[in-house]
Amino acid sequence: MKAPRITKVEVESFDWVMNKVSRNRAFQYDPAGKLKRSSSALRVYADNGAVGEYAGFDAGPSAVADLAKWYLGANPFDRDAFYQRWKASPAMAPLDIALWDMAGKVAGLPVHALVGIYRTEVAAYGSTIDGAVRGPLSTPESYGEFAEQCLEMGYKAFKMHPMAWPDIRDHIKAVSSIGAHVGGKMDMMVDSYCLYPTFSDALKVGRACDEAGFFWYEDPYAEGGTGTFPYERLREMIRTPLLQGEQSKTVEQRLDMALRKATDFVRADVKIHGLTGSFKLAHAAEVMGMDIEPHTSGPEELQFLGAVRNANYYEVVWVHPSIPDCNYSPPVYKNLNITRLDCIDKRGMVKIPQGPGLGVEYDWAYIAKHSTGKVVVEA
């Protein structure tokens, strides 16, 4: 049988608005806020009529279109060859994910079935927005109150992104508040998002996590989250497991952090390394007896989780009690609720999409209506 060939790639950019959100150091709840954001979508066409789709990526659309020129005329099933050649490019991941979507549609199977089904649903954790201008999540105590609300909804875990309070005692109070409200009832995490400027600050928050019984402690140091020695040292002095790697560019660097004992969990980023690179990292971590936790929300993360044993949670980003959907992820999924606060069932689970490919129906009419430009690359 003649192998199919890629004939055309379309890349379209679009804008949307995050409701009740403003941005200072990071995203925060703001009742008067409206924050415009930009993203892109792409379609890959093959001469057998197959089309691979992927929307909601941050990689530069011009870079994706330029890289797509090298895919023209090639077999769309050559995903690993593409990955090996272009894995250093941030434009590789969107094309990789779209090609996985195409392969699933050709086979009539969801992506996780192409790899091997491990599960059809996964537990989720509520991942908070980075504090608030006022109201819930503007005080340390309110983090504990929201954690309890998430527990009542069915969430099995809760992650705090703290406000950038100048006084480290407020961070400790927020950790302690969460522990007092839900400790022993759900897994608790904190992602300081590379905030703390000193070893002393990182250690104090880490010891508060120990006291409260936190599940993991993520990216504490302001050095950028890419070193190894600072985290090796911190691991010697606290009991709470570390989750590191989000700021590292390559899967090799992330695995190196694990090998150097600078992290206890490995961080996966499907949107950066594609499904191909993320599966490689997951399988390497599994052989080492380590868990891997995917970063952020989307159908690509769910398909990843459907085929990976050594992962615990799906991250629902960003959540806040006053905004059921802040539109951190662009509103382009017609058939799925996988990014809202209420995307879980009563058991705290999210279904893995079972449709072919990524299992998502994208709202191309919405994308076209809010388009800021389109590039077509053809053979």
pLDDT in tens, the chain (379 residues): 789 999 999 999 999 999 999 998 889 999 999 999 999 999 999 999 999 999 999 999 999 999 999 999 999 999 999 999 999 999 999 999 999 999 999 999 999 999 999 999 999 999 999 999 999 999 999 999 999 999 999 999 999 999 999 999 999 999 999 999 999 999 999 999 999 999 999 999 999 999 999 999 999 999 889 989 999 999 999 999 999 999 999 999 999 999 999 999 999 999 999 999 999 999 999 999 999 999 999 999 999 999 999 999 999 999 999 998 888 899 999 999 999 999 999 999 999 999 999 999 999 999 999 999 999 999 8
Residues 375, 68 contacting (CB under 8 angstroms):
no
Closest CA to 81 of 6, 186, 148, 153: 6
Give a yes or no: residue 229 inside a domain.
yes
Residues 229 and 294 in one domain: yes
DSSP symbol at 133: S
209: domain CATH number is 3.20.20.120
Containing structural domain, residue 66: 6-109+358-378
Could you give the residue ranges of the DSSP H alpha helices within 108-193?
A: 111-115, 140-153, 168-182
Q: Give the whole-angstrom CA distance, residue 86 versus residue 181.
A: 47
- The pLDDT score that the predictor gives to residue 151 is 98
- The pLDDT score that the predictor gives to residue 207 is 98
- The pLDDT score that the predictor gives to residue 325 is 84
Residues 14 and 85 in one domain: yes
Give a yes or no: residue 50 inside a domain.
yes
Residues 141 and 233 in one domain: yes
Angle at 202 (CA atoms; ends 200, 208), nearest 5 degrees: 100
Give a yes or no: residue 176 inside a domain.
yes
Give the count of domains, the chain. Answer: 2
- The pLDDT score that the predictor gives to residue 77 is 98
Residues 206 and 346 in one domain: yes
Give a yes or no: residue 19 inside a domain.
yes
Residues 239 and 319 in one domain: yes
Residues 229 and 277 in one domain: yes
Q: Give the whole-angstrom CA distance, residue 301 versus residue 304.
A: 5
Residues 33 and 123 in one domain: no
Residues 207 and 279 in one domain: yes
98: domain CATH number is 3.30.390.10
Give a yes or no: residue 254 inside a domain.
yes
Residues 54 and 136 in one domain: no
Whole-angstrom CA distances from 59 to 9, 14, 92, 144 are 15, 13, 9, 35
Residues 59 and 170 in one domain: no
Give a yes or no: residue 1 inside a domain.
no
Give a yes or no: residue 172 inside a domain.
yes
- The pLDDT score that the predictor gives to residue 326 is 81
Residues 265 and 324 in one domain: yes
Q: Which residues, other chains included, contact 209 with Cβ-Cβ below 8 Å and sequence gap of 6+?
A: 175, 190, 217, 238, 240
Residues 188 and 261 in one domain: yes
The DSSP H or E segment spanning 128 is strand 121-128
Q: Does this model's pTM top 0.75?
A: yes
Give a yes or no: residue 189 inside a domain.
yes
